[in-house]
Amino acid sequence: MSSYSPEQIHKCFSESNDFDEIFDAFESALLQQIDDIGMYSQLFWNPSLSPEELCLFGEKLAKEFSHISYDVYFWLASVFETTYAQKDNYELAFTYYRKAAKVNANEIAPYVKLCDCFDPIVNLPPIDDLISFLVEGIEVVSEPKQLFEWLIRLYEIKGEGEKGEMYARRLRE
- Across the range 39-50, mean pLDDT stands at 95
Taking only the tens place, the pLDDT of each residue in 120-148 is 888 888 999 999 999 999 999 999 999 99
Level-2 CATH architecture, domain 50-172: Alpha Horseshoe (1.25)
pLDDT grade for 173, boundaries at 50, 70 and 90: confident
Residue 113, pLDDT above cutoff 80: yes
**pLDDT given at position 87:** 54
**Distance (Å) of CA 58 to CA 31, 55, 63, 149, 168:** 16, 5, 9, 32, 38
First-to-final CA distance of the chain: 60
**pLDDT given at position 95:** 93
Taking only the tens place, the pLDDT of each residue in 6-30 is 999 999 999 999 999 999 999 999 9
Taking only the tens place, the pLDDT of each residue in 67-101 is 999 999 999 999 998 876 555 567 899 999 999 99
Domain spans in the chain, listed from the N-terminal domain onward: 50-172
**pLDDT given at position 129:** 95
Report the C-alpha gap between 84 and 96 in whole angstroms. Answer: 14
Report the C-alpha gap between 68 and 36 in whole angstroms. Answer: 9
Taking only the tens place, the pLDDT of each residue in 152-168 is 999 999 999 999 999 99
**pLDDT given at position 91:** 86
Report the C-alpha gap between 119 and 115 in whole angstroms. Answer: 9
